[in-house]
A and B are shown apart, each in its own frame.
Chain A
Amino acid sequence: MDILEVIEKLTACSGTPGAEGDAVETAEKYLSEYGETRTDKLGNLICEIEGGRSGILLDAHIDRVGLIVTSITPEGFLRVAKCGGIDGRTLLARQVTVYGREKIKGVTASVPPHLQRRGEDSKAVEIGDILIDIGMDYENAVKAVQPGDRITVDSELLHLAGKKIAAPALDDRCGIAAVLYALHTLKGRECGRKITVVFSTREEVGGSGARVASYNADAQECIAVDVSFAKTPDSRAEECGILGGGPMIGCAPSLDREISEKLKLIAGEKRIPYQLEIMNGRTGTNADCIGVSGKGFRCGLLSVPLRYMHTGVEVVSLNDVKNTGELLAQYILDGGVFDA
């Protein structure tokens, strides 16, 4: 499986929270190689791969941060709100795609430096002040766009040095790629377990997708795959992993201790590079809501280290994505915690 190709296709999709359709469609093409797929009432993409007892649930979220149209001004500009926690500092003078009646291009307005008051450029921009210029007057604008339409900031995948890439929506499309890589690795190998895969919606607005998808899942344990912070020059080492250092194994009061330990053990045995991510309560990922969904799940968390989260230039190492998928596959082959 070509991880880069999968990521390229997935990060080119929109799929803001509650409107994941095109991303789901793209992911479905890859996921259907491993079993029958379906979507549920909240749009989650689900695939159950039969294989025996003591099922395991694998989750990665498919939505990405973006903007949502709230109104159209008399001059034909769009006003917006955040749809997920997009980094507001990245929103001035951007080319955007508006998913209106048709897909159209626009630009977020900015005041040129020549006209700014002193000190204005040091203030963070408020989302309520963002205007989207779609080059239309009011009459044409209301025909093309309506409140509720979604907007994504245009940004293309870039290749950086040392098998690193920069792209939008790597949170969590690279997690999806890691799960697909695990399935690819497991294909044709007897693991004796039923695997339920959920590519969940609406994580960026609170995780309702994963909560609903896991409610009836035929599994006792779950590994959520998401992204977490990789060290940058201005961040604290204790809050971050190292880019290229391998998957981050989550250890937290809300996660199952035995799963965390087993992930460490297997990574060590199989010589897969890994690092630990220690949290002091919940994890800020779907593991939080899956853990307490329905009858409850024993949860583990694997995170791909990522820089500049929620911008259009999120950076990951392709090696980390691959190693995350590899560790996931090896964990499943070993039987998880129930066969231990």
Chain B
Amino acid sequence: MLKELCLINGISGREDEVRDYIIGLLPSDCAYGVDNLGNLIVEKKGSKRPKNKIMLSAHMDEVGFIITYITDDGFLKFAPVGGIDARVVFGRSVTVGERKVSGVIASKAVHHLSADELKKAPDFDEMYIDIGAENRKQAEHYVNIGDSAYFNSDYTLYGNGFVKAKALDDRMGCKILIDILNSDTEYDFTACFVTQEEIGTRGAAVAAYNVKPDFAVVLEGTTANDVSGVPEGKKVCVLGGGAVVSYMDSGTVYDFQLYKRALKIAEDNGIKCQTKTAVAGGNDAAAIHKSCGGVKTIAVSVPTRYIHSPSCVAKLEDIESVKLLAQKLIGELAND
């Protein structure tokens, strides 16, 4: 299921295909609705009614590109949707537009670069997508301005339990949430598959307003930098270290009691868990904790290398840890 989820394309605001796929996997006893921002909100019935309303959330959108212009000679100019390092873009193959045509992201050949140009990475405004069209008219036959474009990237298992794919951020969260919805739970909760995270946690703000939870648990992929040469304190979090629970990131200062409690729950239940060693990144908690007059919110994340690139990497056992901790949190917070 994670493979299919990652291979589906959906930048912010174009999450339709992801949402349709998820709806197809919902258990028949769950009521669901789609709100004005495209958030999919699912009510899961447990065996008991909780005292507190619990919201679990994962975002459906991924980083990608939007076509902004077609040149006279048929090349497509584009802009990133979400935070993409321009250096992971050059020389990639992409799928473009409603007709899903193939293209390549390119710029001047390396042989034609000046000494100064060789020191620089090509910026977005120096690159274009080549779909093989001879001119604008021919290109317009395949692509319209405003269409989206996506990295072509296989879902590949490698090494000792690692997975590489595009969009692991946050289709891993979607997968965990789908798994939890399809298992027996003790208490009712609301699952939200939200939109537009990558352009400023916009879907989650609306979803939280519509759900009005007492507690929210955000399921995410978070940035890990545990590669060679990075000092221990700067790795942020490590693959294989288990679920990541954060005290603070660029978008949220988390409820400290809730943070400590999550670590304790993990410890008590033998679930691998770690915190971040840096204040970096952000997620839907930023929007959710400020909505409806305040929501106690926690983010439980899968450590992810090379995030926002076409080759995100995660460890399968960490995905399982995040699921286990999220399930425990529902039970603990329901009657807090």
Contacts and interface: CB of A to CB of B under 8 A. Distances in A.
A188 interface: no
23 contacts: A90-B92, A92-B309, A93-B310, A109-B227, A109-B228, A115-B225, A121-B87, A123-B121, A124-B87, A134-B158, A135-B161, A154-B154, A160-B103, A160-B104, A161-B133, A162-B133, A233-B71, A233-B73, A235-B109, A307-B109, A309-B109, A312-B93, A313-B93
Contact of B85 (A77, A121, A164): A121
A282 B256 CA distance: 69
Interface in B121-157: 121-123, 126, 128, 130-134, 138-139, 142, 152-154, 156
Contact of A89 (B101, B122, B160, B236): B122
Interface of A is mostly: loop
B2 interface: no
A307 B110 contact: no
Given A87-B91, A114-B281, A140-B160, A133 B108 contact: no
B106 A307 contact: yes
Given A95-B153, A310-B109, A90 B90 contact: yes
Given A85-B110, A307-B130, A313-B104, A133 B120 contact: no
Interface string B270-310: 00000000101100000000000000000000000111111
Contacts of A135: 158-162, 313
A172 to B, nearest CB: 15
Contacts of B112: 229, 235-236, 239
A315 B306 CA distance: 27
B306 A75 contact: no
Interface in A112-129: 112-116, 121-125
User: Counting chain A CB atoms within 10 Å of each CB, which of B92, B281, B306 scores highest?
Assistant: B306
B87 A110 contact: yes
Interface in A263-284: none
A159 B71 CA distance: 21
A271 B40 CA distance: 61
Given A112-B309, A233-B128, A239-B112, 9 more contacts: A93-B310, A95-B164, A113-B85, A114-B223, A125-B87, A134-B158, A140-B160, A232-B106, A311-B110
Contacts of A94: 311
Contacts of B71: 233
Interface of A: 73-75, 77, 85, 87-90, 92-95, 104-116, 121-125, 131, 133-137, 140, 154-156, 158-162, 164, 166, 229, 232-236, 239, 244, 307-313, 315
B119 interface: yes
B281 to A, nearest CB: 5
A150 B117 CA distance: 28
Contacts of B229: 73, 131
Nearest to A104: B158
Contacts of B281: 114
A235 B93 CA distance: 21
Contacts of A88: 110
Given A110-B85, A158-B104, A161-B133, A95 B228 contact: no
Contacts of A122: 86, 120-121, 123
Contacts of B90: 89-90, 311
B231 to A, nearest CB: 12
B273 to A, nearest CB: 21
Contacts of B119: 123-124
The 4 closest A-B pairs by CB, nearest first: A135-B159, A160-B132, A90-B91, A93-B309
Nearest to A153: B91
B102 A159 contact: yes
B185 interface: no
B311 A95 contact: yes
A158 B92 CA distance: 11
Nearest to B123: A122
B46 interface: no
Contacts of B109: 87, 229, 232, 235, 307-310
B160 A107 contact: no
B30 interface: no
Contacts of A156: 93, 152
A105 B306 contact: no
A135 B107 CA distance: 32
A75 B228 contact: yes
Contact of B91 (A121, A232, A239, A312): A312
B48 interface: no
A164 B132 contact: yes
A280 to B, nearest CB: 15
B88 interface: yes
A133 B305 CA distance: 10
A115 B71 CA distance: 34
Given A123-B119, A233-B128, A131 B227 contact: yes
Given A89-B122, A113-B83, A161-B132, A105 B91 contact: no
A311 B122 CA distance: 14
Nearest to A140: B160
Given A110-B85, A161-B142, A95 B160 contact: no
Contacts of A116: 85
A4 to B, nearest CB: 14
A111 B304 CA distance: 11
